[in-house]
Chains A and B, each alone.
Chain A
Amino acid sequence: MSSTPPGRVPTRTALRLLALLVPRRVRERWIREWTGELAHWRPGAGSFLLAAARDTLSIRALRGSGAGPSRGLHVASPRERMPVRQLVQDIHFAFRTLRKAPWFSLATVLTLALGIGASVAMFGILNRAFLAPLPFPGADRLVLGRTTVDGHLNPWVAGADYFDYRDQATVFDELAAVLPFPTEYGVTGGGEAERAPAGIASVNLFGALGVRPALGRGFRREDGLEGAANVVMISQGFWQRHFGGDPEVVGRSLSLNSEPYTVVGVLPAGFFFMYRADLWIPLRPDRFAASSRSLYNWYLVGRMRPGVTPVQAQTEMDLISARLARAYPRTDRNRGLLLTNLQEALVEDYRPTLLILTGAVALVLLIACGNGAGILLARAPARGFDLSVRSALGAPRARLVRQLLAESLGLALAGGLLGTILAAGLQRMMLAYLHMDRLGPAAPGLSWTGLTAALGLSVFAGLLAGVYPALRGTGSSLGHGMKTGDRRTGEGAAGFRSAMVVVQVALSVVLLAGSGLLVRSLANLRALDPGFDSRDLLTARIWVPTARYPEAGDRIRFFTSLLEQVRAMPGVSSAALGSHVPIVNSGNIYRATAVGEGKETERIFLRASSPGYFETLGIPLRAGRGIQPGDDAGSRPVVVLSETAARRFFGEGNPLGKEVQLEIANPVRMVVVGVVGDVRLSSLEDAPEAAFYVPFAQRATNVMSVVLKTRVPPASLSAPLREVLKGMDPDIPVSGVATVAELVSRSMSDRKVLTLSLTLFALFPLLLAAVGLFAVLAYHVSRRRHEIGVRMALGAQASRIGGMVLRRSLVLVGVGTVLGLGGAFALTRFLRSQLFGVGATDPVTLAGVVVFVAVVSLAAAAAPTWRAVRADPRVALRAE
């Protein structure tokens, strides 16, 4: 007969539930034992259920110890592994401990969250740029082909050369060509009239990339032949937008720039290559200047055959280049084709920026871990007693170390969680500025890889921050903890924290030096005179289809008429045409010689310009005259040289009246009629080069920029300008309608991002250093309160006391600064590629950094110094 067990029903039920944790063999006995205890439990003994719960843990723990027969509640079972179980216990205990000290835990978590968050964000960006492969099958075999002239990247390939490479190469499955930038087409028919960006590519581009159409077919060889019917492939987005997702879209007709095209296929969703394009049109020898050997418009994209190495491919390209140079010496001499892994090439421009940012983020993470370690050490006195007791009770040191590491891991994981949330926002901000446009739109949020990285980084941070405090906190001084309380470990902690301040000051100095140099570079660039006046200039790029304007005369007439109409627009003070706008459009490198001077050919930038070009852009005339309306197709070929060109070709002599020869397929001799000031041709940073300005009427290309000098804000004329263009020919693609000032500013945007990011990263350790300095000094003052009281009682001046405190801060900051300067000397060289107008060890910048750090440190030291100075001696003396 069984008596009714005592205790409330819930407790008994809970007991039965807890019993499920006990090995089955002893479960009943365990329940009986505890039911018996329940009757005699007195409130003062603590929670009954908690004790029972802990007992289940210890019984499970006993199972693990394995040896010996089963006795009582000891169930011998060697199966369960000890370390895992112990780790679970450790974490459980860690959470209890951390909960007891909420502010400390919060401070550590926040610091680590910042460091981990920045690292995860950076990792995500790096992953996208370098690690994650392009979304094409076998992407590692894809290469980008670009022209080199005398070894310098030019970079675009002439159409006729492309065809030769394509026909002669054996190392590729496919070699395709693609226009490096989208062009706008006027679209009518099928839906609303709109302008859509289009990509021009050879028929085998999608084959090379390994992209299969979602609907219909891809391009075929026949589509790329002269006189073939016009076909077009459309993107998913365009299909939805313009055709409403019509499943019968294949075979429908579109009018692109007034020419009929048939839709043959729809590209898969999410397809992106180099730029956003709604339409893809095949390259043909009779279009887009594709048969020219002297107009350079194309990037080449190749898929290497399996088993072909990059070296083999490059060698074959060099062979073909040599053959072309021999066959066409006027145009192809000194030209080569450089093959680069496609993914690398697409991110080439960002590589230095990303690497610098990664370095900075790594430093930030280290600082956060160091700070975490400092905070953990500051807690050491409070833990000392607890750890001493546990050690006396027999816990081995390794166990205690593991316990402390579990705590720091717990903090780091919490910090990592918070940091991951931060990271998503941080990454969005950085991507918004980094313009990694060539890689396509970024998937929002963090990927699984990113989350895994966050976890890994948190564990790493937790271990890094926790190792030193754990080892230190469980060292030989542990025995003292029980007897003397906190004296010894407190001192040690203060020493470490002082060291941390020094390190953080040093790191701040390094990062601030870097950011200071970048800020000065940016300021230098902004202040730079580009050689022309970029204010109040509006520009648009116009591409005249050779299909409808096949003759040079047709194009000249079109552009001349355009110029007249634009000049008549209200608010326009002058207007001109140019094949290239300085800084905005680069490239177009040719070779030329000075006739009769006996010199070698030189590289020059060729520019076709209308009359009024120099006046509109504010380029000063140095000698002779500019381009005039009389310089047309019927008159003698003339050229205006830039100052650098004049110097290179004719030295200090007067070049006017002398002749130069442009080395193209049919070389042209031109008379020098004027010299103008140098402008920055391709970018603000590159030194001015030799430029030849020829009359547009004597070299009528089909792509020109119209430039307007306005009396009113230039942006206000962009709509009227579009109207004029549409009125002339609604089907002519227009792109790049913007103010020149903005385009120039955009060319600096990457640099601005880097500068901003590095500055932010530099301020973080400085802030931590200031806080750390404050804490160290405050601790120092409070420890010395008694001593200060004695001194003041003995008549020491307040200023001496203050001086004592300030001296300590001076030592810490001074050592840190010296170390930081040393680091700056060593490390800023990595920024050299980004610097402009300042050396990597520019003394003015470094001096500025030192002053800034000193000011911040003084501010941090102010409060403790003030406290020390104002201490009441009587109060201080009483503090024992």
Chain B
Amino acid sequence: MPRTNLTFPTGLVLQAIARGHRYGFEIMERSGLRAGTVYPALRRLEGAGYLRSAWEEEDAVEKRPPRCYYSLTPQGSELLSQTLDRFPAIALSVGAEPIPGPEGA
């Protein structure tokens, strides 16, 4: 498994996913990081096996296209706790409540 640096933004991303913000855009909003940071992190983490991605069901009602959402693998959880050890502030900076919007979590 390729090494991934235990960095602050990586931690923010993992935490956001752990807190239920599974889509790329929500991760951006929650963590405050730019798209230029979040998406590469997602690719890297998925490529390294810390995340897995899946497609949601197509919504027949609202007729919007299916989105891709991420979840932590066991390795990802392990990585998250390591990162929290290193950067405790992460736990504080990513909240659990979803941001109100057209769709729920």
Contact = CB atoms under 8 A, between A and B. Distances in A.
A467 interface: no
B47 A72 contact: yes
B39 A41 contact: no
Contacts of A61: 40
B49 A32 contact: no
The winner among B8, B9, B43 for most chain A CB atoms within 10 A is B43
A67 interface: yes
Contacts of A550: none
A59 B40 CA distance: 7
B34 to A, nearest CB: 7
A76 B9 CA distance: 23
A58 B51 CA distance: 17
A49 to B, nearest CB: 10
Given A45-B25, A67-B2, A68-B1, A55 B47 contact: no
A511 B49 CA distance: 65
Contacts of B40: 54-55, 58, 61-62
Interface in B61-79: 63-68
The winner among A29, A46, A73, A76 for most chain B CB atoms within 10 A is A73
A39 interface: yes
Given A3-B63, A4-B63, A41-B25, A33 B43 contact: no
The winner among A37, A41, A65, A67 for most chain B CB atoms within 10 A is A37
A33 B65 CA distance: 9
Contacts of A32: 55, 65-66, 68
B25 A71 contact: no
B38 to A, nearest CB: 9
A37 B51 CA distance: 18
B43 to A, nearest CB: 5
Contact of B43 (A4, A59, A76): A59
Contacts of A333: none
A51 interface: yes
B65 A393 contact: no
B8 A72 contact: no
Contact of A40 (B9, B25, B36, B43): B25
Nearest to A29: B68
B17 to A, nearest CB: 13
21 contacts: A3-B58, A3-B63, A35-B65, A39-B64, A40-B23, A41-B25, A45-B29, A54-B35, A54-B40, A55-B39, A55-B40, A58-B39, A58-B44, A68-B47, A70-B47, A72-B53, A74-B43, A76-B47, A393-B8, A393-B9, A394-B7
A73 B47 CA distance: 7
Chain A's interface size range is: 35 or more
B83 to A, nearest CB: 12
B24 interface: yes
Contacts of B36: 51, 54
B43 A3 contact: no
A310 B44 CA distance: 68
B65 A5 contact: yes
B91 interface: no
A392 B34 contact: no
Contact of B23 (A6, A37, A65): A37
Nearest to A40: B25
Given A5-B65, A37-B67, A62 B25 contact: no
A788 B49 CA distance: 62
B48 interface: yes
Contacts of B24: 33, 37
Given A58-B39, A65-B2, A3 B48 contact: no
A288 B11 CA distance: 96
Interface in A10-64: 29, 32-33, 35-37, 39-42, 45-46, 50-51, 54-55, 58-59, 61-62
A44 to B, nearest CB: 9
Contacts, number: 102
Contacts of A58: 39-40, 43-44
Contacts of A33: 24, 67-68
Given A40-B23, A394-B7, A62 B65 contact: no
Contacts of B34: 46, 51
Interface in B1-54: 1-2, 5, 7-9, 23-25, 28-29, 34-36, 39-40, 43-44, 46-49, 51-53
B2 A73 contact: no
Nearest to B50: A71
Interface in A320-376: none
A53 to B, nearest CB: 9
Given A54-B39, A73-B47, 15 more contacts: A4-B63, A33-B68, A35-B65, A40-B23, A40-B67, A51-B36, A55-B35, A55-B40, A61-B40, A62-B43, A65-B47, A71-B49, A71-B52, A74-B48, A393-B9
A39 B65 contact: yes
Given A55-B40, A58-B40, A36 B67 contact: yes
Contacts of A50: 35
A451 B92 CA distance: 58
A175 to B, nearest CB: 74
B89 to A, nearest CB: 13
Contact of A73 (B9, B25, B43, B49): B43
B35 to A, nearest CB: 3
Nearest to A61: B40
Given A54-B36, A55-B35, A72-B52, A6 B7 contact: no
Q: Which 4 A-B residue pairs are closest in the complex by CB-CB distance?
A: A74-B47, A51-B35, A58-B40, A36-B67
B64 A393 contact: no
The winner among A4, A41, A45 for most chain B CB atoms within 10 A is A45
Contacts of A41: 25
B46 to A, nearest CB: 4
Contacts of A394: 5, 7
Contacts of A39: 64-65, 67
The winner among A36, A41, A54 for most chain B CB atoms within 10 A is A36
Contacts of A68: 1-2, 47-49
A61 B9 CA distance: 18
A70 B49 CA distance: 10
Contacts of A3: 58, 63-65
Contacts of B63: 3-4
B68 to A, nearest CB: 4
Contacts of A5: 65
Given A3-B58, A36-B66, A54-B40, A393 B7 contact: yes
A62 B46 CA distance: 11
A393 B87 CA distance: 12
A40 B62 CA distance: 13
A394 B55 CA distance: 32
A54 B28 CA distance: 14
A35 B67 CA distance: 8
Contacts of B58: 3
Contacts of B1: 68
Contacts of B44: 58, 62, 74
Nearest to B66: A36
A50 B8 CA distance: 23
B46 A6 contact: no
B58 to A, nearest CB: 7
Contacts of A35: 65
Interface string A779-804: 00000000000000000000000000
Nearest to A65: B2
A16 to B, nearest CB: 14
B65 to A, nearest CB: 5
B6 to A, nearest CB: 8
B67 to A, nearest CB: 4
A40 B63 CA distance: 13
Nearest to A393: B7
Contacts of B51: 72
Nearest to B39: A55
Contact of B46 (A4, A45, A54, A73): A73
A45 B30 CA distance: 11
Contacts of A392: 8
